[in-house]
Amino acid sequence: MSGPVWWEETRRDGGARCGVLHTPHGDVPTPAFMAVGTRGTVRGVGAEDLEALGADIVLANTYHLMLRPGAEVVSTLGELHGFMAWSGPILTDSGGFQVFSLDPHVAEEGVRFRSSYDGSTVHLTPEDAVAVQETLGSDIAMMLDVLVGLPSPQPVVTAAMERTLRWGARAIAARKRDDRALFGIVQGGVDPELRRISAEETAALGFPGFGIGGLAVGEEAHERNRAIEVVAAALPEHAPRYVMGLGDTEGLLDAVARGCDLFDCVIPTRLARHGKVLHPDGDFSIKRAEWIDSAAPIDPACPCVACRRYTRGYLRHLFATKELLGLRLLSLHNLRYTLDLMAGMRSAIGAGTFDAFHAERRRRRIGAGRSAGA
């Protein structure tokens, strides 16, 4: 054990591994999925809901919280845990993904961009990102990295990777709190050699955990899997590996098979708001006309409130009439589906049957002509 956050492996099955992430606000069994609470809340879902769903850790977004209501306000209200009324572990991203979606001016010092709230000019440096997250009080903070869209020219990807390494060293030097952890981020696009260099040099900086950034942004699955394989082989065995922004079923299965431990994504709740149901036998839209008089639940095997209590016909009605309850119930279902997927993978790794679990889940979802709506 070393530091406020540390990870220990408990079981391995091929490339997949189980472990426990120890944090100041509790332990997290891994592999684990983090529901995304962008503005201090998972949209339409309260802390009590997350507890009932079995969530162990959540993610909050530095960009949005530093602008509204402001990190100092959050700190005054008990830091993020008090502010959100969530007693479990919290990871904050650096805000880099949101910043780089705003077409910022990027220089060695940091980034300059226009606030999406009021249009004011905002400056953010690697040091600022650390300071804001320390004020927010998350258990795990992420360094500010440099993102590029894919595909991009090789010189652009290389420059972003190299700058990210320099920013990582600055982030470590800027730390003031020793009761919280700061994770590094590996970049390098889908180039295996750049990924290897980035992983090795980021590990050499001494971070206790590592994000794998710049993936799940439109690259092909085989490109992402190859990048993850290279990074996993280059990072320390004793440190957690976090694939940032990954949350689709097949992507999670593939990444866990390659030794990754943490994930986050808006997919469960974003899809829910559009009426998309995540299902072991294939995802489908609850808005389809065929469900108008269906008395079946979404999934009889699912223990979430949407499946225990309500029919597909009723849920379709909620979406047809634009009732907010429909968004909430599908959000709860999709989150429970994703959390149960992670629990299933942990159980399979523990039993030494992960390959069979992986193959069966894929077969159910992409088998010839089979889907929940067929």
Strand-pair partners of 296: none
CA 143 – CA 160 distance, rounded (Å): 14
**pLDDT(100) > 90:** no
Shared domain for 171 and 104, answered yes or no, is yes
Supply the pLDDT for residue 82.
Answer: 98
Per the listing, tokens 């220990």 go with: 8
Shared domain for 248 and 342, answered yes or no, is no
Strand-pair partners of 264: 34
Which of 230, 265, 300 represents a domain boundary (last residue)?
A: 265
Using the CB atoms, write b or e for 95-112: b if 16+ within 10 Å: bbbbbbeeebebeeebbe
Supply the pLDDT for residue 95.
Answer: 84
**How far does CA 72 lie from the centroid of its chain?**
25
Supply the pLDDT for residue 239.
Answer: 98
372 lies in some domain: no
Query: Which of these is catalytic: 139, 264, 283, 340?
Result: 264
Rounded mean pLDDT, 150-168: 95
Query: Which of these is catalytic: 13, 49, 56, 93?
Result: 93
Q: Could you read off the pLDDT of 63-73 as tens digits, one per residue? A: 999 999 999 99
Sign of CA dihedral 357, 268, 124, 151: positive
**pLDDT(149) > 90:** no
Amino acid present at 45? V
Is residue 333 classed as helix, strand or coil in its secondary structure?
helix
CA 8 – CA 30 distance, rounded (Å): 10
158 lies in some domain: yes
Q: Could you read off the pLDDT of 299-314 as tens digits, one per residue? A: 999 999 999 999 999 9
Shared domain for 128 and 194, answered yes or no, is yes
Q: 356 Cβ partners below 8 Å, 6+ apart?
A: 348
Q: Could you read off the pLDDT of 313-372 as tens digits, one per residue? A: 999 999 999 999 999 999 999 999 999 999 999 999 999 999 999 999 999 998 634 444
251 lies in some domain: yes
**pLDDT(169) > 50:** yes
Write the CATH number for 214: 3.20.20.105
Shared domain for 196 and 312, answered yes or no, is no
* Encoded tokens for 231: 């990074």
Q: Name the residue range of residue 325's domain.
A: 272-366
Q: In this structure, are residues 93 and 125 in contact, taking their beta carbons and an 8 Å threshold?
A: no
Shared domain for 34 and 134, answered yes or no, is yes
Supply the pLDDT for residue 373.
Answer: 44
Rg value, the chain, Cα: 20
Rounded mean pLDDT, 237-265: 97
Q: Could you read off the pLDDT of 27-54 as tens digits, one per residue? A: 999 999 999 999 999 999 999 999 999 9
Supply the pLDDT for residue 372.
Answer: 45
Q: Could you read off the pLDDT of 196-250 as tens digits, one per residue? A: 999 999 999 999 999 999 998 889 999 999 999 999 999 999 999 999 999 999 9
Amino acid present at 105? H
Strand-pair partners of 11: 18
Per the listing, tokens 């972003």 go with: 160
Q: What integer best gives the mean pLDDT of the chain? A: 95
Decide if 264 is catalytic.
Answer: yes
Rounded mean pLDDT, 85-114: 93
Number of folded domains that form the chain: 2
374 lies in some domain: no
* Encoded tokens for 160: 């972003």
